[in-house]
Structure formats: structure tokens, C-alpha cells
Amino acid sequence: MDKKVISTPNAPAAIGPYSQAWAVGDMVFASGQIPVDPATGIVPEGIAAQAEQSCKNALAIVEAAGLTAENVVKTTCFLAEIADFAAFNEVYAKYFTSKPARSCVAVKDIPKGVLCEIEVIAVK
């Protein structure tokens, strides 16, 4: 089976023992992306700005694999506060216009104390 690591400086580097993504055959499995600006290391304030940065980071990895948002077939989204669901959705909908399948759950904590994280699966 054809598989390779996908990595890009346009998304935050992994902060643990994992890769940004793997391409396996026609599929790309991206690790969860938190809202860290890859150029500055800064996390923006508020759910809208953090959702925006998380979407940009996730799609930077998809693009590094030679794909676009249209290739994304599944996302898993994590929110620190379920009360942020509507604000998160408003931003998310601008980036994932093809409406991939999705799970969105509230969790107790997300690394670096951020408000959201997004992971994606894309198909060539």
C-alpha cells in the first residue's frame, strides 16, 4: 500500500509524537489542528478567530497533500464549550462548503487551553 507523511510549514508543527497527516492510498488522514498561527505561534482570542485559524490550519495540510476543501469527506470537531457551537458553525461553514460528514463534541480540555480543534479525512 502506498503511504507517506504529509507535512507543511503552513500549519503548526506537531507538538507530540505524531505527524501532521498521512496519505494512504487515495485518502489523507490529518491530525487535529488547533488554532495556533504557524508563522507566529500565537493563538487568537475568541471562538470565531480560533475557529478561523483551525480551519486554515486543517486545510493547509489538505492542500499540502495536493487536495482542496472539496476533497474533505469527514471532519471531527472538538469544542471546549458547547455554548460556542453556533459561533463555531458560522466560521466552519465558510470553509467546508461541500458539507462533509462531521462529528462535533464538547470536551473537557484541548491542548494549550484552546477553544476548538478540527481533524479531517480527505479523499483524492
CATH number at residue 8: 3.30.1330.40
How is residue 28 written as a grid cell?
489523507
Confidence of residue 109 (pLDDT cuts 50, 70, 90): very high
Taking residues 63-84, what's their average pLDDT?
A: 98
Q: How many domains does the chain have?
A: 1
The per-residue pLDDT for 96 is 98
- Domain of 26, in residue numbers: 3-123
Active site residue 104: yes
pTM of the model: 0.96
Question: What is the Cα Rg of the chain in Å?
Answer: 13
Of 55, 77, 104, 116, the catalytic one is 104
What is d(CA 14, CA 26) in angstroms, rounded to the nearest whole number?
A: 23
Say whether pLDDT at 112 is over 80: yes
The per-residue pLDDT for 54 is 98
Positive or negative: CA dihedral 61, 54, 9, 113: negative
Percentage of the chain exceeding pLDDT 90: 97
